């Protein structure tokens, strides 16, 4: 069999070829020789990456105009990046999830950590939602969808194009149905004894966040008999898990009325509608208002969007996390629990923990740190890529 013929791209002498050989999956634009030929490669082109001495390193997916100009696909320069290659990697990802979970509701592909740089695939029973956030995956999307259907046996595949990452890759923002028919109503998903309603076509990202599953479970263990406040609740994340754990009540706060409506539907399906309430509004405004009302809760959870999605936003993001903790801590009963989360790539665990403790201290509270959590095992980490360990969840007893 003849090896595929790929164009060649080359690292500059100053590039960190050792890090790439040891597993770092990205090549930045300032590490590549961006001559006219390389700049002219169509986004999504597969190329052979060589070091400055012209020694092959592996195959990369190219986006020459992006800051991440190349993403490592395979160390074997003779590999053929096509349907069979996709099938093999999907099969490997599926075998792990089937070992971990009893039901087919999980993140099936977690980007670089599963060998699919820039690609997210979440599974909801017989439906999968793909976020192809890199040009190489967009170029191979028909083959990816075909391989996904064959490997999993699913009947519906949706493309979600709403990610910020696609903008950075110069890709469109048009969602699409790649197989089957889009569901005409939110799908119920059971996790930790709770029922969540996932809107796969109009919801945020793929419709549901699976990454907090183990942290929901830990918080639920503390919830029996407690009044619970879940801020930045989305479709009921921690609130519904707490209700499943026997919480006396749960109040969900979010800026999105549709998300809160889905949370209410989930509570109703669980038979917990009488213990569930929702309040729409800006999270900081609502936290302040609850403080003025003298409200107190056994557990307060704050799971905001990424306040520091990139390094330029780090300082402002840490101030926002500190403010969140400062406003939330006074709402916690003496001996109660405060759960603070971050999904910011740029804020590492130490920086995030420091911001939380400053906020708790400014609120005049003292804390024990009981639990430090990350994403579930269907969101594996790529050790060479710190960004893959984005999620942090801290549980304090005040």
**Which of the following is catalytic: 128, 302, 341, 343?**
343
Cβ 74 vs Cβ 46: under 8 Å: no
Give the residue among 284, 207, 287, 212 at the shortest CA–CA distance from 242.
Answer: 212
pLDDT attached to residue 1 = 47
Dihedrals φ, ψ of 314, to 5°? -65, -50
Question: From first to last of its 398 residues, what are the pLDDT tens digits of the chain?
Answer: 455 789 999 999 999 999 999 999 999 999 999 999 999 999 999 999 999 999 999 999 999 999 999 999 999 999 999 999 999 999 999 999 999 999 999 999 999 999 999 999 999 999 999 999 999 999 999 999 999 999 999 999 999 998 888 988 889 999 999 999 999 999 999 999 999 999 999 877 778 999 999 999 999 999 999 999 999 999 999 999 999 999 999 999 999 999 999 999 999 999 999 999 999 999 999 999 999 999 999 999 999 999 988 888 899 999 999 999 999 999 999 999 999 999 998 899 999 999 999 999 999 999 999 999 999 999 999 999 888 889 999 999 99
pLDDT attached to residue 203 = 73
Tell me which long-range contacts 72-80 makes (C-beta under 8 A, separation of at least 24). Answer: 72/20, 72/24, 72/25, 72/26, 72/27, 72/117, 73/46, 73/115, 73/117, 73/136, 77/3, 77/6, 77/48, 78/3, 78/4, 79/4, 80/4
246 SS3 class = coil
Give the residue among 196, 43, 223 at the shortest CA–CA distance from 133.
Answer: 43
pLDDT in tens, 76-98: 999 999 999 999 999 999 999 99
Query: For the sheet containing 56-62, what is the strand order?
Result: 8-10, 46-50, 56-62, 68-74, 26-28
Q: Is 387 exposed, middle or buried (0-12, 13-18, 19+ CB in 10 A)?
A: middle
Q: Treating both helix axes as pointing N-terminal to C-terminal, what angle do 283-292 and 314-328 enclose, rounded to 10 degrees? A: 30
Is the pTM higher than 0.75? The answer reads yes
**For residue 102, what are the contacts with CB-CB under 8 A and spacing of at least 6?**
none
| CATH, domain range 8-74 | 2.30.130.10
Instruction: Please provide the distance, in angstroms rounded to a whole number, between the alpha carbons at the two ends of the chain.
Output: 65
| 302 belongs to the catalytic site | no
Q: How many CB atoms lie within 10 A of CB 396?
A: 24
Give the residue among 99, 112, 151, 98 at the shortest CA–CA distance from 128.
Answer: 151
Q: Residue 94 corresponds to which tokens in the numbers above?
A: 């599926």
Q: Which residue has the tokens 């979970």?
A: 101
Q: Residue 144 corresponds to which tokens in the numbers above?
A: 């990816």
Q: What's the length of the chain?
A: 398
The superfamily in CATH containing domain 83-179 is RNA methyltransferase domain (HRMD) like (3.30.750.80)
The rounded distance, in Å, linking the Cα atoms of 200 and 264 is 17
pLDDT in tens, 258-296: 999 999 999 999 999 999 999 999 999 999 999 999 999
| DSSP state string for 109-136 | EEGGGGT-TTEEEEEETTEEEEEE-SHH
Same fold yes or no, 83-179 and 187-397: no
What are the domain boundaries of the chain?
Answer: 8-74, 83-179, 187-397
Query: Which residues pair with residue 341 across a beta bridge?
Result: 393
- Helices and strands (H, E) in the chain, number of each type: 12, 19
| CATH, domain range 187-397 | 3.40.50.150
pLDDT attached to residue 309 = 83
């Amino acid at each position: 069999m003849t090896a595929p013929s790929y164009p060649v791209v080359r690292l500059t002498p100053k590039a960190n070829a050792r890090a790439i050989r040891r597993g770092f999956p990205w090549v930045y634009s300032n590490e590549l020789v961006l001559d006219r030929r390389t700049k002219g490669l169509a986004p999504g082109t597969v190329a052979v990456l060589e070091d400055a001495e012209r020694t092959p390193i592996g195959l990369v997916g190219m986006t020459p105009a992006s800051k991440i100009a190349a993403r490592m696909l395979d160390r074997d320069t003779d590999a053929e990046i096509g349907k069979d290659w996709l099938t093999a990697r999907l099969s490997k990802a599926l075998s792990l999830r089937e070992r971990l979970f009893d039901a087919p509701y999980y993140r099936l592909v977690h980007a670089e950590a599963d060998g699919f740089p820039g690609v997210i695939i979440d599974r909801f029973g017989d439906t999968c939602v793909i976020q192809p956030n890199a040009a190489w995956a967009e170029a191979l999307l028909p083959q990816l969808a075909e391989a996904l259907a064959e490997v999993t046996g699913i009947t519906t595949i949706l493309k979600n194009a709403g990610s910020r990452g696609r903008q950075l890759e110069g890709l469109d923002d048009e969602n699409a149905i790649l197989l089957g028919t889009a569901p005409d109503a939110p799908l119920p998903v059971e996790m930790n004894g709770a029922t969540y309603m996932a809107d796969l076509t109009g919801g945020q990202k793929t419709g549901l966040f699976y990454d907090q599953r183990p942290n929901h479970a830990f918080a639920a263990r503390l919830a029996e008999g407690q009044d619970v406040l879940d801020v930045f609740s989305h479709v009921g994340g921690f609130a519904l898990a707490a209700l499943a754990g026997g919480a006396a009540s749960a109040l969900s706060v979010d800026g999105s009325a549709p998300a809160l409506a889905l949370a209410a539907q989930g509570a109703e399906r669980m038979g917990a509608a009488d213990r569930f309430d929702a309040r729409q509004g800006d999270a900081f405004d609502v936290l302040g208002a609850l403080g003025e009302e003298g409200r107190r809760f056994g557990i307060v959870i704050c799971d905001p969007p990424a306040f520091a999605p990139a390094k330029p936003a780090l300082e402002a993001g840490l101030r926002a996390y500190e403010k969140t903790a400062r406003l939330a801590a006074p709402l916690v009963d003496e001996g109660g629990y405060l759960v603070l989360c971050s999904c910011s790539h740029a804020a590492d665990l130490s920086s995030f923990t420091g911001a939380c403790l400053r906020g708790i201290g400014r609120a005049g509270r003292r804390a024990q740190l009981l639990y430090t959590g990350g994403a579930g095992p269907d969101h594996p980490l790529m050790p060479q890529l710190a960004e893959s360990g984005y999620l942090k969840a801290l549980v304090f007893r005040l």
